[in-house]
């Protein structure tokens, strides 16, 4: 093997051993984008179809995880997937929306505002922005901001530094909320099939949650989307549900899984409904 190939091999091995997780796993993001795409107006559906690369075959869900895949190529983007609060159960844009170097606006709420602004130039056809990337970033970050531990405490990096056992497996709390709760639910209730999970949540949106959907879609400021609201809800859910009764080396089993799953399903539903509302508003 040439030294270059050895390097690539070593790097790939390292990536396999130490995956860096920046959001819902693939299934969480796919769920959010599937729900959203099914709720688009004609104008928004046409715009999304035009902006998606041809190989995606007009399936936004298939590229919803794209922003995680480019985080090494676009190193600047990795701070845009989350928010850290100073260990408080509230979110304040001015106080909390910044990156490690203190640069203001570099957090998931700022990113949602930024990519919304870029997409609003769609009808003017300015060549200033790559609107395909803007669409993929916005779709991904609308998911991330609804994952409670993506708006978590700075000292434990949104639960990344809290080691737990998910049933018998060693895991960290952030990962439990990105992936494990969803995967356990799929195994137990949905034949290990993500499409069935999507269908179940979509059914809840039209039945159990039907009278709440209008409220999810609306923003106080009338400016859609309103990431500050979504972030405030997430840190509240993080305190009330994700962090609650969990400490270093806790074992999380059925009690935790069954009481938290409804919260997680609700957040996936809200993310999907609100992504659709945002795209409908932008392209409408
Ligand atoms: Zn992410």
5 located within any domain:
no
pLDDT digits (tens, 9 = 90+) for 31-42: 999 999 999 999
CA of 171 to the centre of ligand 1 (A): 18
8 located within any domain:
no
143 located within any domain:
yes
Best CA proximity match to 234, nearest among 179, 174, 282: 174
Best CA proximity match to 160, nearest among 169, 149, 168: 149
Give me the CATH number covering residue 126.
1.10.575.10
CA of 81 to the centre of ligand 1 (A): 5
CA of 204 to the centre of ligand 1 (A): 25
Check if the beta carbon of residue 224 is closer than 8 Å to that of residue 283.
no
191 located within any domain:
yes
198 located within any domain:
yes
H or E element in which residue 152 lies: strand 151-153
Find the DSSP H helices in the chain: 3-17, 26-37, 42-51, 66-69, 93-96, 108-119, 131-144, 173-175, 181-189, 194-206, 213-217, 227-237, 254-283
Best CA proximity match to 33, nearest among 57, 63, 55, 54: 63
Three-class SS state of 62:
helix
177 located within any domain:
yes
Asked if residue 27 has a cis previous peptide bond (ω within 30° of 0), the answer is no
For tokens 């018998």, what's the residue?
168
CA of 71 to the centre of ligand 1 (A): 9
CA of 3 to the centre of ligand 1 (A): 33
CA of 141 to the centre of ligand 1 (A): 6
4 located within any domain:
no
pLDDT digits (tens, 9 = 90+) for 145-165: 999 999 999 999 999 999 999
Q: What is the mean pLDDT of the chain?
A: 93
Could you tell me what percent of the chain has a pLDDT over 70?
A: 92
The model's confidence at residue 29, banded by pLDDT at 50, 70 and 90, is very high
Over range 91-120, report the average pLDDT: 97
What's the number of domains the chain is made of? 1
Size of the chain, expressed as the number of residues it contains = 284
Over range 101-110, report the average pLDDT: 97
pLDDT digits (tens, 9 = 90+) for 233-262: 999 999 999 999 999 999 999 999 999 999
Q: What tokens does 219 get?
A: 């923003």
59 located within any domain:
yes
H or E element in which residue 241 lies: none
Pairwise CA distance, residues 5 & 9, whole Å: 6
Predicted local distance difference test score (pLDDT) of residue 265: 98
Pairwise CA distance, residues 126 & 280, whole Å: 20
Residues with CB under 5 A from ligand 1 (ion): 22-23, 81, 144
Predicted local distance difference test score (pLDDT) of residue 223: 87
Could you tell me what percent of the chain has a pLDDT over 90?
A: 87
Predicted local distance difference test score (pLDDT) of residue 84: 98
Domain residues for the domain of 249 are 26-283
CA of 203 to the centre of ligand 1 (A): 26
pLDDT digits (tens, 9 = 90+) for 3-24: 445 544 454 544 444 444 457 8
Check if the beta carbon of residue 116 is closer than 8 Å to that of residue 225.
yes
CA of 66 to the centre of ligand 1 (A): 9
Best CA proximity match to 111, nearest among 284, 278, 283: 278
């Amino acid at each position: 093997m040439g030294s270059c190939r050895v390097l690539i091999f070593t790097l790939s091995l390292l990536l396999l051993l130490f995956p860096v997780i920046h959001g819902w796993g693939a299934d969480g993001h796919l769920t959010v984008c599937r729900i959203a795409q099914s709720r688009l107006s004609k104008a928004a559906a046409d715009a999304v179809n035009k902006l998606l690369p041809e190989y995606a075959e007009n399936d936004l869900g298939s590229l919803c995880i794209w922003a995680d895949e480019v985080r090494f190529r676009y190193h600047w983007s990795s701070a845009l997937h989350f928010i850290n609060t100073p260990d408080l159960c509230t979110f304040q844009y001015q106080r909390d929306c910044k990156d490690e170097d203190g640069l203001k606006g570099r957090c998931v709420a700022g990113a949602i505002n930024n990519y919304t602004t870029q997409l609003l130039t769609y009808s003017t056809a300015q060549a200033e922005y790559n609107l395909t990337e803007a669409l993929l970033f916005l779709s991904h970050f609308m998911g991330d901001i609804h994952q409670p531990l993506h708006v978590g405490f700075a000292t434990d990096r949104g639960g990344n530094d809290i080691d737990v056992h998910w049933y018998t497996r060693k895991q960290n709390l952030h990962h439990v909320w990105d992936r494990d709760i969803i995967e356990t639910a799929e195994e137990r209730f949905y034949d290990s099939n993500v499409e069935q999970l999507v269908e179940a949540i979509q059914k809840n949106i039209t039945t159990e949650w039907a009278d709440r959907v209008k409220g999810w879609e609306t923003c106080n400021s009338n400016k859609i989307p309103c990431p500050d609201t979504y972030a405030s809800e997430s840190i509240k859910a993080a305190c009330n549900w994700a962090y609650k009764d969990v400490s270093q080396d806790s074992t999380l089993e059925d009690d935790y899984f069954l009481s938290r799953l409804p919260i997680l399903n609700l957040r996936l539903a809200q993310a999907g409904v609100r992504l659709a509302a945002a795209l409908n508003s932008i392209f409408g």
